[in-house]
Each structure stands twice: as C-alpha cells, then as structure tokens.
Amino acid sequence: MVRFKNRYILCEVVFPDKKKEIPRIDTKSVYFAVRDAILDAHGDYGLGAVQFSLSVKYLNIKTNIIIIRVERKHLNIVASSVVFIKKVASHNIIMKTLHVGGSIRACQKFLISYHKKNLPLLYSGCETEEQRAKVMQSIVEACDDLQNLTSRTKLTAPDSSSALNNLMSDD
C-alpha cells in the first residue's frame, strides 16, 4: 500500500483594512480562493494536479492562521499561487507563508515558537491589562485548537502540558 505524502503550508492572513470587527471567513471560502488562485497562476493543469489533495485543514480568524494541506509533489504549485490571493469572501487580504512542514505537529511547533517571538510585539500594541489578557487568551486558544487537531489526525500531541506552559517556557 502506498502512503500519500503531504505537506502543510502554514499561512498568516493580513488584513490591510484595519477594521474593528472580526471578518467572517470560513474554510470553504479560503479553499475556493486558493483554488481560483491556482487556476489563474497555473491553469487547468495546475488545478487538476492539486485538486485531489488540496484542503484547508485549519483556520483561526482570531490569530489569522491558516493551514493548507497538499500532496508533496505539488507543493510548489500551491505555494507559488498562495501569494496571489488578494480577496477571500469579499475581504481584502494578504497571505504570508510562514512555514512548510511535513505534519500538522511540525506546524504546531513552529507556530508556538512564532508566537513566542511575536508576543512582545503584540503586547506593545495593548494599552490595558484586559487587552493583554485577550491577546494571550486568543494565542492559547489557537495552540489548544492545534493540539486538538493533531490528536484528531491520530498524531500524538507533543506532551500533556497546556499550550500556555509551552508558550511561556524559555526553550
């Protein structure tokens, strides 16, 4: 039996329109935006090659993180097309590829270290303790969601400690 080898593209969504409300974006609209970008950049061949393995595995609009799964041999098609996505569900966006990993767990580890590095930057924009608590809570929820996602895909979670301990540890 042949195993399908996938790659997971970890992307950050940047909203150039600085609005106060959280935009309503779901995995289906992100999937169609990625699919349309592949069709525009690589035509029918590119879309036909990746359509079988393309899926949006994770979306957290609070932390603006998306994980896209694609078959390993077609990674370059999707990665080169993601940068051309400018609009998802009538919202203007910019997609930044942060990491490409072989598993969701590898993306989770990278995301935790990425949030550790960017935590001072996020805190500098907060004026009150309540805002800081909201930022920390959204990061912890995102990490917990990713831990739950890894356990659903029959991968073992890194350890039994909470995402907050992982985030705050000095590794």
Are 59 and 145 within 8 A, CB to CB? no
CA dihedral 107, 113, 97, 91 (to 10 degrees): 100
For 119-170, write each residue's pLDDT tens digit: 777 777 778 888 878 877 877 777 777 777 666 655 444 443 455 555 555 5
Please state the pTM of the whole predicted model.
0.76
State residue 49's pLDDT score.
93
State residue 77's pLDDT score.
95
Q: Helices 129-152 and 104-124, interaxial angle, to 10°?
A: 180
Three-state SS at 7: strand
pLDDT tops 90 at residue 6: yes
State residue 160's pLDDT score.
39
pLDDT grade for 39, boundaries at 50, 70 and 90? very high
Are 53 and 6 within 8 A, CB to CB? yes
For 84-106, write each residue's pLDDT tens digit: 999 998 888 999 999 999 999 99
